[in-house]
Amino acid sequence: MKIILHLGIHKTASTFIQSVLMHNRKALRDQGVEPVIRDTHKQIRNGLRRFMKGIEPSFKKRWTVFLTNQIKKGKEYILISDENLVGDPASVHYKRKAPQLFYPEVEQRLLQFSKLTKELDVDIQVVLYTRKQETLIRSLYLDGLKYLRYESSLDSFLQACLESDFRFDNLKGRITAFVKDISMIPFESIKQGENEFLHNFFGTCSLDDSFLVWPNVLTKNEAISDFQASLYRRYASLDLNKTQKAEVRKWISNLPKFDTSAPKNVHSQSELTLIREKYKDDISYTSCN
């Protein structure tokens, strides 16, 4: 049996991939693939996330039963897609004012995962998307505004990232200490079209995608508008109770995506030059050339 771990990263169309996998769960199972998508799998729920965080050791027994059952059913692949398994994105560590290492929990989490498989005859493949930092940093910043509470500007967030070890080649090295088979795909391949992007994903996993049926509505975690971003920064400064916070966030998230007067959250030309110079030899850039 082979376990394929699609670990994201955040802001590389993971939600889009997962929506297609969810829609095709039965077809995948008929093809010998058991899809485990985020924390929705009825036999696993969020136990895998918690185990990899080191807070639910009893999950190991449940996982062994699950995997044994899949082998008995003749499943050849377990396809796990959950970007939260690799750890928290840079926006979370920025909020915590913690040392900026690109996914600092990845070693601890993969060490935990290795405990689930060392006594079983399985191969493990990690699939990870890279993304040029000139767009990734902005997307992580906007996502942080949406889900966290900080008033910082994009410039401040960028500076923290530039001062960190925020590199994909470093992340790859830290992953290969635990999993030798790792495939890294440029997120920028999505520019070829969503069909081709998904075909690349399944091809990397060595899986047939000819049977896929696309859902009528694809779920995507799209970036918030610049107008929404300005409101989220203002929201972060308000003294609200939990109920009020939820109501305000819901209201902001449902606003139309139009921008007429709000300052744009984009990198200046000088900042783009700085980013490209810092990361020009990183996998996220060299793999796209």
Please report the pLDDT score of residue 197 as a whole number.
Answer: 92
- Judge whether 82 and 39 are in contact, CB under 8 Å: yes
As for how many domains the chain has, the answer is: 1
What is the extent of the structural domain holding 32?
A: 2-286
- DSSP conformation letters of 14-31: HHHHHHHHHHTHHHHHHT
pLDDT at residue number 219: 75
Q: What pLDDT shows up at residue 217?
A: 65
* Phi and psi based region of residue 77 (left: phi greater than 0; alpha: psi -120 to 50; beta: remaining): beta
Contacts of 151 (CB under 8 A, 6+ apart): 233, 234, 236, 237
Q: Which residues contact 282 (CB under 8 A, 6 or more apart)?
A: 133, 167, 168, 169
What's the angle, vertex CA 218, arms to CA 217 and CA 219, rounded to 5?
115
pTM for this entry:
0.91
User: pLDDT in tens for each of the 289 residues of the chain?
Assistant: 899 999 999 999 999 999 999 999 999 999 999 999 988 888 888 899 999 999 998 999 999 899 889 989 989 999 999 999 999 999 999 998 876 789 999 999 999 998 888 777 789 999 999 999 999 999 999 999 988 888 999 999 999 999 999 999 999 999 999 999 999 999 999 999 888 999 999 999 999 998 888 777 667 777 888 888 889 999 888 898 989 988 998 898 888 777 666 677 889 999 999 999 999 999 999 976 5
pLDDT of residue 227: 86
At a CB cut-off of 8 Å and minimum separation 6, what does 126 contact? 5, 7, 175, 179, 181, 182, 183
Take residue 144 and report the two structure tokens written for it: 């942080």
Q: What CATH number is given to the structural domain containing 114?
A: 3.40.50
Beta bridge partners of 81: 6, 37
Q: CA–CA separation, 100 vs 176, rounded Å?
A: 21
